[in-house]
Every structure is written in structure tokens, then in C-alpha cells.
Amino acid sequence: MTGIDAVGRTPAEIVPVLFEENVLFADLVRDSDPDLPVPTCPEWTMRKLGTHVGRGDRWAAAIVATRATERVDTRDVADGKAPSPADEFGAWMRGGVAALAEAVEKVGPDTPVWTFTGPKPAAWWLRRRLHEQTVHRADAAIAVGAGFDIAPVLAADGLSEWLDLLTARPGVGGPMLTDDASMHLHSHDADGLGSAGEWVVRPDGDTIAWDHGHKKSAVAVRGSAADLLLTILRRLDAEDPRVEVLGDRAVLSSFLDATPF
């Protein structure tokens, strides 16, 4: 389990967590069969999963370093191919997050840069890449049959970050939530997350709006912050006994079907 007890919003707070998650993910990929399929990422192998994350970190670093105002082509990212020798993979992975952290420090965390949700401060990419590591670490753990341990506060922040991304994206094939059907997510972690452990998600046209709070909704989903994160990102089946679904299950099902991968 990670030793991180809190996730902040400044680079000084996020970067150490990012590096820790990067190492945990890299170790799983390095020690596995590179051709092992990843069930939660159809048609991907562990090698492709590792390359995706390592190249993505370098892609984000290039966006920040160049103060990009338009999308950078991932094919133009330097050193974007994972090394074949397993013993070089960890250093290659760390190099990506190091480049991103250095780029944010150099240009300044508040410098606006391109993101797929519109211009955002450069530091936005640190949090985005952090949660890219956590979710794909779950993918790697599922693939090799290992446990996925994550601090509740980190899982809760990952869920909030994902909901933030969804507010800027239309649903796939239609609205994520319809007919004023809201969804309440409720973490029951023993250490207590307070208001940060509850989410009310509402329809907003083809996208959603959300805030922290407790409100009677069409469907309620209860579980640990980690299991809620994995359920909402479709890494854990909503029928799994680790999560409890109360109310209209069809609302949750349609939400999951309409949210982009």
C-alpha cells in the first residue's frame, strides 16, 4: 500500500506521489510477461500498457516544456519507445515523470498550456498523469492477479479528477445521465474522508455536473473509495459484491456505457 496520506494541489505535494505511483506501476510491468494480455484494456499487452504510460508522461512533458497551445503529436515525442531489456524499464519510466516535473518547474505551474479539456495551468498535467498511473496500475495488477492497494484519499481524488474530465466531454452515443437522474457515490472508508468521500453527479446536457455532498438520487453506489474508483472507470464490475448499488441500476449502467474509455 502506498505511504501517501494526502494528495495536495501544489507541484511540491503532487510530484512525490506521482513518483511513488510511477515506481509501483513500473515494477508490476517490469516483472511480468511483456506479452501478457491486459483484460481491462482490450487488445493491449503489458508491454503496450507500459509504453502507453511512459510515452504519455513524456508527451505531457513536451506539451508543458514547449508551452503548447495545440495538441502535440505523440509520434513526435522523444524517447517514446519502451526499452526491451526489463532491467532498463524502471529507469525509462522514471525519466518520463522526471521530465514532466522539471518542465512544470521551469515554465511555472500557472503557465497556461494545451490540454484535451481546454487551456489549463501547466501543473494540471501533474495531477492528470498521477491518476493515469493509478488506474493503469490497477490494470496491471488485474492482469497479473495481484492486489491493488491505494490510499483512500488518493483513490477519492482520482474519482474526483475523472468526474472533472467528464464534465468537458460529451457522452458516447448520448447523454451520460438523462431525465434528471442523478447518481450518488458514497465511500465508506474507515478512516473517513468527510465530504471528499461523497459525490453527487447530475446530468448537464450531454455531459455532467458534480459536487461533493449527500443527496437522495436515482441510484446510489457505496463502497471503498478504491472500489468506487474502479467501478466508475469500469475496472470493477458493478455486480461485484465489493460495491453496493441501491436504486435504479439502469442509471448506473447507462452512465458506464456512455462514459469514454
pLDDT in tens, 6-34: 456 799 999 999 999 999 999 999 999 99
Strands (E), the chain: 112-113, 120-121, 183-187, 198-204, 207-211, 219-223, 244-247
Residue 23 CB neighbours (<10 A): 15
pLDDT exceeds 60 at position 2: no
pLDDT in tens, 149-166: 999 999 999 999 999 999
Say what the pTM is.
0.94
pLDDT digits 0-9 by tens, 60-93: 999 999 999 999 999 889 999 999 888 899 999 9
For residues 182 and 99, give the distance between their C-alpha atoms in angstroms, rounded to a whole number.
Answer: 40
**With b meaning 16 or more CB within 10 Å and e meaning fewer, what string describes 47-85?**
bbbbbbbbbbbbbbbbbbbeeeeeebeeeebeebebeee
Condensed to tens digits (0 to 9), the pLDDT of residues 165-178 reads 999 999 998 899 99
179-204 pLDDT, tens digit each: 889 999 999 986 678 889 999 999 99
pLDDT, position 1: 30
